[in-house]
C-alpha cells in the first residue's frame, strides 16, 4: 500500500523539477534573445523612424517570441526567426498609425512627425557577431525620413534586401511571399526612395571628415559667441531648419538668422549659450544649453542634428531636450 506522505513528497518534487526546468528554459531563452536586442532595435528603428517605438517593438518581439517559442522548428536560424517576428510586429505598428497628411512635399522630415534621432553611442555598442555594421547611408535621418514614404511591405523589403543584404528567397520566406513579388516591391521602393533623398547624398562621407568637424566647430563657436555674421557664414544659402514633431520649417540663411537673432544675440538674448558636441545617426549633433540671466547653471534647450555639405551646414533638425538622457548628456552644465 502506497504511503500518502510519500505520494505528496513525490508530487512536490515533480513540481519543483518542472519549475526548475521552466526557469532554466526561461533563462536560456532570454540569453539567446538578448544577444540580438541591439540589431533588432536598429531594424525596428529603420522601419518606424521612432527610437521610442523601436524600443517598444523589441520588447513586443521578445514577448511574441516567448509565446510562440514552440513554433520555432529550426528551419531557419534563431536570428532569422526573430527578424521575422520583429518585422511583422513593425508592420502591425505601421498599420495602426493614422494616415499622415503631407505638409511639405519638398521637406520629407516635416512629413514624419514621429521621427527621432538615434545616439551614435548606442549604434556602436553592439557585440553581436551577426549584426551588420551600421553604415551612415542606412541610418542618417534623411534616409529614415525617406523610408517612411514607402508602403509598409515595400519598406520591409527595402530594409531586408538593400540594408541587411538578405537574399530575395530569404526575404520572400520571411514575408510569406514569392520571389517575383519581392523583386517587384524592391524596384518600386528604390524608385520612390530616390525621389525623397537629397540630391547630393552620394557625396557624403561615411565618417566625419576633418572638414566636417571644422564646420561643426565654426557653428558651435559662432552660436556661443552670439556672432550672427559668423553663424550666417557657416550656413548654406538655402539652409533648412525643421523641428519634428512640429510641422514647422524654415528655409534660407537670412530667414534662419532673423529667427535666431533675438534668442542668440542682443539685449533680448535668452542668456549665455553653451553647445556640447555629440553625434546621432552618424551625423554631427550639438546639445544646446543656456544660462539665463540670474541663473548659475546652463539648462537644456534642444538637440540639433546637422547635415553638413562641403564647408557649410545644409540642414538642421531640432529635437526636444527630453532626449538628452539617452545621449548620455548632463541634465545641466
Backbone angles phi, psi at 303, to 5 degrees: -115, 125
| Closest by Cα among 149, 158, 146, 169 to 75 | 169
As a whole number of angstroms, the distance between CA 63 and CA 101 comes to 33
* End residue of a domain, out of 150, 175, 203: 203
Q: Do residues 112 and 249 lie in contact, with contact meaning Cβ atoms separated by under 8 Å?
A: no
* End residue of a domain, out of 203, 221, 242: 203
3 occurs within a structural domain: no
| Closest by Cα among 138, 141, 65, 149 to 103 | 149
pTM attached to this predicted model: 0.86
Beta pairing class for 235-242 and 312-320:
parallel
| Joined grid coordinates for residue 225 | 559667441
Whether 65 and 175 share a structural domain: yes
| Closest by Cα among 236, 241, 329 to 287 | 329
Can you give the pLDDT at residue 72? 86
Q: Domain holding 26: CATH number? A: 1.20.140.160
* End residue of a domain, out of 203, 235, 255: 203
**Burial of 203: CB neighbours in 10 Å, binned 0-12, 13-18, 19+:** exposed
Q: Domain holding 262: CATH number? A: 3.10.450.50
Would you say the C-alpha torsion 291, 293, 295, 299 has a positive or negative sign?
A: negative
Q: What is the count of structural domains for the chain?
A: 2
Whether 48 and 164 share a structural domain: yes
Whether 116 and 263 share a structural domain: no
As a whole number of angstroms, the distance between CA 194 and CA 41 comes to 25
- The percent helix, strand, coil of the chain (3-state, each to 5) is 55, 15, 30
Can you give the pLDDT at residue 22? 44
Backbone angles phi, psi at 212, to 5 degrees: -65, -45
From residue 97, give the alpha-carbon distance in Å to each of 108, 142, 160: 17, 21, 22
Backbone angles phi, psi at 302, to 5 degrees: -170, 165
As a whole number of angstroms, the distance between CA 195 and CA 257 comes to 29
pLDDT tens by residue, the chain, 333 residues: 556 555 555 554 545 544 444 445 567 888 889 999 999 999 999 999 999 999 999 999 999 999 998 888 777 889 999 999 999 999 999 999 876 544 444 554 556 888 999 999 999 876 666 666 788 889 999 999 999 999 999 999 999 999 999 999 999 999 999 999 999 999 999 999 998 888 766 555 556 678 999 999 999 999 999 999 999 999 999 999 999 888 788 999 999 999 999 999 888 899 999 999 999 999 999 999 999 999 999 999 999 999 999 999 999 999 999 999 999 999 999
What is the enclosing helix (H) or strand (E) of 288? Answer: strand 283-291
Whether 196 and 215 share a structural domain: no
As a whole number of angstroms, the distance between CA 248 and CA 250 comes to 7
Would you say the C-alpha torsion 234, 237, 243, 244 has a positive or negative sign?
A: negative
1 occurs within a structural domain: no
As a whole number of angstroms, the distance between CA 216 and CA 201 comes to 18
As a whole number of angstroms, the distance between CA 162 and CA 132 comes to 12
Q: Do residues 278 and 327 lie in contact, with contact meaning Cβ atoms separated by under 8 Å?
A: yes
Q: Do residues 190 and 218 lie in contact, with contact meaning Cβ atoms separated by under 8 Å?
A: no
Whether 65 and 136 share a structural domain: yes
Would you say the C-alpha torsion 85, 91, 95, 98 has a positive or negative sign?
A: positive
Helices of type H across 35-167 = 37-48, 51-67, 78-96, 120-123, 141-147, 152-158
Range of 72's domain? 8-203
As a whole number of angstroms, the distance between CA 323 and CA 87 comes to 26
End-to-end CA distance of the chain: 79
Amino acid at each position: 500500500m502506497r504511503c500518502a506522505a510519500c505520494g505528496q513528497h513525490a508530487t512536490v518534487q515533480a513540481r519543483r523539477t518542472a519549475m526548475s526546468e521552466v526557469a532554466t528554459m526561461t533563462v536560456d531563452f532570454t540569453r539567446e534573445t538578448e544577444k540580438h536586442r541591439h540589431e533588432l532595435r536598429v531594424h525596428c528603428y529603420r522601419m518606424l523612424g521612432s527610437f521610442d517605438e523601436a524600443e517598444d517593438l523589441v520588447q513586443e518581439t521578445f514577448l511574441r517570441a516567448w509565446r510562440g517559442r514552440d513554433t520555432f522548428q529550426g528551419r531557419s536560424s534563431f536570428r532569422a526567426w526573430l527578424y521575422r517576428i520583429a518585422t511583422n510586429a513593425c508592420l502591425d505598428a505601421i498599420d495602426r498609425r493614422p494616415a499622415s497628411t503631407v505638409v511639405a512635399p519638398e521637406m520629407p522630415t516635416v512629413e514624419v512627425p514621429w521621427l527621432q534621432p538615434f545616439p551614435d553611442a548606442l549604434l556602436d555598442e553592439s557585440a553581436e557577431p551577426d549584426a551588420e555594421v551600421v553604415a551612415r547611408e542606412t541610418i542618417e535621418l534623411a534616409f529614415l525620413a525617406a523610408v517612411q514614404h514607402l508602403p509598409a511591405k515595400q519598406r520591409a523589403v527595402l530594409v531586408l534586401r538593400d540594408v541587411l543584404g538578405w537574399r530575395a528567397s530569404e526575404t520572400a520566406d520571411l514575408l510569406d511571399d514569392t520571389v517575383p513579388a519581392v523583386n517587384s516591391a524592391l524596384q518600386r521602393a528604390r524608385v520612390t526612395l530616390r525621389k525623397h533623398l537629397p540630391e547630393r547624398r552620394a557625396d557624403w562621407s561615411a565618417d566625419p571628415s576633418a572638414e566636417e568637424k571644422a564646420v561643426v566647430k565654426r557653428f558651435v563657436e559662432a552660436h556661443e559667441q552670439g556672432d550672427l555674421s559668423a553663424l550666417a557664414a557657416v550656413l548654406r544659402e538655402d539652409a533648412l531648419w525643421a523641428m519634428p514633431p512640429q510641422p514647422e520649417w524654415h528655409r534660407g540663411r537670412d530667414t534662419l538668422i532673423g529667427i535666431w537673432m533675438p534668442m542668440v544675440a542682443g539685449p533680448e538674448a535668452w542668456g549665455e549659450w553653451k553647445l556640447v558636441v555629440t553625434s546621432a545617426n552618424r551625423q554631427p549633433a550639438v546639445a544646446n544649453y543656456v544660462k539665463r540671466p540670474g541663473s548659475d547653471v546652463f539648462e537644456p534647450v534642444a538637440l540639433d542634428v546637422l547635415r553638413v555639405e562641403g564647408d557649410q551646414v545644409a540642414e538642421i533638425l531640432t529635437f526636444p531636450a527630453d532626449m538628452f538622457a539617452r545621449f548620455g548628456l548632463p541634465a545641466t552644465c
